[in-house]
Amino acid sequence: MPAPSDVPKIFIGACGIGLGHVGRMLPVAKILRERGWRVYFSTYGDASNYSINEGFPTIRERELSYGSKSDGSLSLKETFRVFPRVLLSFLSQVEREFSALRALKPNVVLSDSRLSTLIAARALGYPSILVMHEFKMLIPLQGDELPGIGFVKRFFERVALETFGLGWDLADRVLITDFPPPFTVCKPNVVLPEFLRHKATYVGMVSPEKLDISKDTAKKKFGFNEKTIVVYFGLSGLPWERKSMASKLFPLALETSKKGFGVIFSRGEPGGSSAPKREGSVVVYDWIPDRRLAYAAADVFVTVGGQTSVGEALRYGTPMIVIPTPNHTEHDSIGENIQAMGLGLKINFRELESERFFKALEIVLSERFKKRALEAAKNASRYEAVREIVRAIERFVE
């Protein structure tokens, strides 16, 4: 248990697969820091650079990830091949977090999709909160690939849901970072085991406080005329995923700019240069210093379907074109839901070509999509996920 101290401390264990988990914990961490808390992060991969660059003490964990193909897409075969290494990494993370918690003696432990964090917290008796949206893992197999494969897929998805649910149940509270129906963005993933539901609450999608700036003013900040239609390409995910997506999306961004659109392109490289460069007529960032300004300026957001990015775009009422990372079931389901809700269109990466993209761009710029996106933004404004998470944390030290 935490030692008495005038300065409250929190230990945040965030999943390091992609940047979204640390990205959505940073607004929480910044508010707590402003209120006098000492904040410590534990994560891995590129995500550790992200939290370090924001000025937070960070424990770098042994990397843990799924297997992938040469094009950056998820590979079940490769994932099974590297499973022993993944298991060793997980055990190493539990050990490291156990040691860190014993040394730091935090008042509260916050886990963003990290089972290792909850195990260490429960073992040492620290109160813990789980922040998560992807409770049900979707296996990237089509039901018609082989006879009976649909049943096998559903069976193992259910087994994984219940098994991992026992781990998530170690948390004292569960905060679901998505909107309740009908605007649930990750609908296929937000499925909880019955025994977990009594401690779970929807808090909305996490995003930094919305900028109080007009679209015209935001466009001028990027050097565009207020009448220019702006398309924002924002990459996210693992390094090899971003590299694969950029190889196809950047030429498309150049082509978009040649058609008279204003284009912002972020490679999503934490630790990269935050100074804008001009490549053709495209404003290019390795790492955009404040994504909120890009969302405020954009008339359309082109995304791979990361939940954090989509949630931020929703706040600004920006219609989307979702091009999911190949074989990434979460991104794919988000793209399907965005399209089903009338907030944008989905294009499969392997089917992406100029003609199809520009047809989709024309459609999402129509009044129908703009109106629906503004409705979603109005709904999103009713939720303050960051404040709700902070309140849940502070209740443990009252």
Max CA separation in the chain (angstroms): 63
The answer to whether residue 90 sits within a structural domain is: yes
Please provide the DSSP assignment of 135-182 as one string: -SPPPS--TTSSTTHHHHHHHHHHHHHHHHHHHHTTSSEEEE-SPPTT
Give all strands of the β-sheet with 344-346 in edge-to-edge order. 277-279, 282-285, 262-266, 230-234, 300-303, 320-322, 344-346
Total number of domains in the chain: 2
Q: Please indicate, yes or no, whether residues 136 and 93 belong to a single structural domain of this protein.
A: yes
Residues 345 and 225 grouped into a single domain: yes
Domain of 76?
A: 9-205+383-397
Residue 279 has pLDDT above 90, yes or no: no
Residue 143 in this model has a pLDDT that exceeds 50 = no
Least confident span in 81-85, 101-105, 319-323, 350-354:
81-85
What CATH number does the domain containing 256 carry?
Answer: 3.40.50.2000
pTM here is: 0.81
Residue type, 181: P
Q: Checking DSSP bridges between strand 277-279 and strand 262-266, what pairing results, if any?
A: unpaired
First-to-last C-alpha distance (Å) of the chain: 16
Segment 87-142, tens digit of pLDDT:
788 888 999 999 999 999 999 999 999 999 999 999 999 999 999 998 877 666 55
At residue 378, what is the residue type? K
Peptide bond into 182 cis (omega under 30): yes
Q: Say if residue 367's pLDDT is above 90.
A: yes
The tens digit of pLDDT for each residue in 39-83 reads 999 999 989 999 999 999 999 998 866 555 655 555 556 666 766
Nearest alpha carbon to residue 320 among 389, 239, 234: 234
Check whether residue 178 and residue 275 sit in a common domain: no
- Give pLDDT tens digits for 57-68: 999 998 866 555
Looking at the structure, tell me whether residues 276 and 236 fall in a common domain.
Answer: yes
Query: 2 lies in a domain?
Result: no
Do residues 80 and 147 both lie within one domain?
A: yes
How far, in Å, CA of 274 to CA of 255, rounded? 23
Does 306 share its domain with 291?
yes
User: Does the residue 210 lie in any domain?
Assistant: no
CA-based nearest residue to 350, from 71, 108, 162, 25: 71
Same domain, 374 and 290: yes
Is 1 domain-assigned?
no
**Residues 239 and 374 grouped into a single domain:** yes
Beta bridge partners of 111: 13, 130
Same domain, 273 and 351: yes
The yes-or-no verdict on residue 147 having pLDDT over 90 is no
353 and 220 assigned to the same domain: yes
One domain for residues 127 and 143: yes
Is 352 domain-assigned? Answer: yes
Q: State whether 122 and 238 are in the same domain.
A: no
